[in-house]
């Protein structure tokens, strides 16, 4: 646990900052100062105003009222004040190399040989934050996995880029990283703060917040509702401050695994599942889980036929690549998979469609005034809810989920867990890849992946964090 070493003048100071978008008060009078050496953990539900706050600090938005200043440097703008942002939605250019991506935010890299200097700078930054990262600065970003892209993005955030990073804003930096890499990042944050840097850390993972933050700031409905040193919080009091009444811990009857019938699913990779079972895919990120699920889905569905209902539906985790249809409304995005069921002679029954969309908006709590709004008007977590609704609205007996909880807040997660449980009880089968161990631990059966293959199959009482980690890492110690 870090103790706050608050010294000197604040790097950034917000006084009564407000931000309105039309009638929406995204930020409703926030005062916050961040001092050198501090790591602020910023928590709150989706739509609590975290992203707006971040955008005020980094200069992406101007406050509607109140002020944002940078007393420590006296700089007029966030850029000169050494404020850096690393976003949850990846913002690298996929067609450029890692080094060239550094150049985008480092305008001083000009003249002959800038690539060489860019390579050296990004390599040094990667080496510092993620030792043994194995990322070649000359590779184009589209050839990196999502976790590697996130690592590059973080390294760019911490790179000196001509001046010096004083305040680094990390928005859900670990959501696509596995535990070992995330731990490297947390260690770097501690080092960075010890050297007088400051970090604004946004995460839905409580463990990390408690691990790394010196102060925890809780936001709700555009306001800061609590701001205290980390030791003054407990998990329960933090969740309470966020305003979501945590349900009782999902009880998993570890001892009495319900008797499932014969396997209804058998993939080439060795995945099996029975009717009504929730099967988890675990292991370090990027070890073939997502590919195994996509392959399974492609094997069981056709590009040429669509009957009244397919056997399998897919919930995307990489929303932009695999899920969202960006030109469409929330309504059309919700119903796209069930069109054959609600069509009569090939014509979509629009009354039924509207009814189903309204039903799922209420059931899964999509935060929008009108489902005919464009899908991109929703926050990331709410877009994810739409993708859940799309899959669950179908009658498909098997639901495949590719790390679907990225960027989803705690309250929604609990709701979705409950929904998955009740659907499973009705006989649906779930295949669920997750980078979060506590999610995997809720499953009835877990396959741990290592190096594109299944390294362990766990059931019942064997599903523990220790066993999963053991199976994820086992060979790495031996090889080294």
Alpha-carbon Rg for the chain in angstroms: 23
**373 binds other proteins, rule: CB under 8 A:** no
**380 binds other proteins, rule: CB under 8 A:** no
The one among 210, 260, 328, 417 contacting other proteins by CB under 8 A: 328
**304 binds other proteins, rule: CB under 8 A:** yes
Nearest approach, Cβ of residue 191 and other proteins (Å): 40
How far apart CA 295 and CA 311 sit, in angstroms, is 14
The one among 130, 201, 233, 297 contacting other proteins by CB under 8 A: 297
How far apart CA 379 and CA 382 sit, in angstroms, is 5
The one among 187, 348, 352, 469 contacting other proteins by CB under 8 A: 348
How far apart CA 49 and CA 221 sit, in angstroms, is 7
Nearest approach, Cβ of residue 147 and other proteins (Å): 20
**326 binds other proteins, rule: CB under 8 A:** yes
The one among 264, 343, 352, 469 contacting other proteins by CB under 8 A: 343
Judged on CB neighbours under 10 Å (0-12, 13-18, 19+), 23 is exposed
The one among 95, 134, 305, 479 contacting other proteins by CB under 8 A: 305
Residues facing residue 227 across a β-bridge? 217
How far apart CA 203 and CA 213 sit, in angstroms, is 11
Q: CA angle, 132 as apex, 128 and 135 as ends, to 5°? A: 90
Closest residue by Cα to residue 311 from 353, 264, 269 = 264
Burial 460-471 (b: 16+ CB within 10 A, else e): eeebeeebbbeb
Nearer to other proteins by Cβ, of 2 and 384: the residue is: 384
**303 binds other proteins, rule: CB under 8 A:** yes
Element (H, E) at 336: none
**91 binds other proteins, rule: CB under 8 A:** no
**469 binds other proteins, rule: CB under 8 A:** no
Which range, of 43-51, 70-78, 275-283, 303-311, touches other proteins by CB under 8 A? 303-311
Q: How far is CA 431 from the centre of its chain?
A: 19
Q: Give the per-residue contact string, 167-186, with other proteins (x = CB under 8 A; - = no).
A: --------------------
Q: Give the per-residue contact string, 382-411, with other proteins (x = CB under 8 A; - = no).
A: --------x---x-x---------------
Backbone φ/ψ region at 161: left (φ over 0), alpha (ψ -120 to 50), beta: left
Beta strand pairing call for 272-274 and 215-220: unpaired
Residues making contact with other proteins (CB under 8 A)? 294, 297-298, 301-306, 310, 313-314, 316, 321-328, 332, 336-337, 339-340, 343, 346-348, 350, 390, 394, 396
């Amino acid at each position: 646990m870090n103790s706050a070493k608050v010294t000197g003048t604040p790097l950034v100071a917000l006084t009564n900052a407000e931000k309105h978008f039309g009638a929406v008060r995204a930020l409703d009078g926030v005062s916050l100062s961040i001092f050198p050496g501090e790591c602020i953990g910023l928590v709150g539900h989706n739509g609590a105003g975290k992203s707006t706050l971040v955008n005020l600090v980094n200069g992406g938005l101007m406050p509607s009222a109140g002020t944002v200043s940078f007393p420590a440097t006296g700089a007029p703008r966030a850029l000169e004040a050494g404020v850096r942002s690393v976003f949850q939605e990846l913002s690298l250019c996929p067609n450029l190399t890692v080094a060239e991506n550094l150049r985008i935010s480092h305008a001083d890299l000009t003249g002959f040989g800038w690539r060489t200097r860019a390579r050296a700078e990004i390599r040094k930054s990667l080496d510092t934050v993620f030792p043994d990262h194995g990322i070649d600065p000359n590779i184009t970003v589209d050839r990196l996995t999502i976790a590697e892209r996130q690592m590059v993005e973080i390294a760019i955030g911490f790179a000196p880029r001509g001046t010096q990073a004083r305040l680094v804003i990390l928005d859900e930096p670990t959501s696509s990283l596995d535990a070992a890499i995330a731990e490297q990042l947390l260690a770097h944050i501690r080092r960075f703060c010890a050297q007088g840097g400051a970090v604004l850390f946004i995460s839905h993972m409580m463990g990390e917040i408690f691990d790394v933050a010196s102060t925890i700031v809780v936001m709700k409905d555009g306001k800061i509702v609590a701001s205290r040193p980390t030791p003054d919080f407990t998990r329960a009091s933090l969740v309470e401050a966020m305003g979501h009444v945590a349900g009782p811990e999902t009880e998993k009857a570890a001892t009495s695994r319900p008797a499932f019938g014969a396997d209804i699913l058998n993939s080439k990779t060795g995945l099996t599942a029975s009717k009504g079972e929730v099967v988890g895919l675990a292991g370090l990120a990027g070890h073939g889980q997502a590919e195994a699920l996509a392959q399974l889905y492609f094997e069981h569905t056709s590009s040429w036929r669509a009957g009244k209902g397919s056997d399998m539906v897919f919930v995307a985790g990489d929303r932009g690549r695999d899920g969202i249809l960006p030109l469409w409304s929330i309504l059309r995005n919700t119903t796209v998979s069930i069109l054959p069921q609600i069509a009569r002679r090939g014509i979509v029954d629009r009354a039924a469609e509207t009814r189903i969309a309204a039903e799922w908006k209420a059931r899964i709590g999509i935060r929008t005034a009108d489902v005919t709004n464009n899908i991109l008007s929703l926050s990331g977590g709410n877009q994810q809810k739409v993708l859940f609704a799309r899959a669950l609205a179908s009658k498909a007996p098997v639901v495949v989920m590719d790390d679907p909880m990225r960027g989803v807040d705690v309250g929604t997660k609990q709701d979705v867990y409950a929904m998955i449980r009740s659907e499973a009880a009705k006989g649906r089968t779930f295949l669920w890849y997750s980078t979060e161990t506590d999610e995997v631990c809720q499953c009835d059966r877990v396959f741990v992946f290592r190096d594109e293959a299944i390294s362990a199959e766990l059931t019942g009482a064997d599903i523990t964090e220790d066993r999963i980690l053991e199976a994820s890492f086992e060979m790495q110690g031996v090889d080294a």
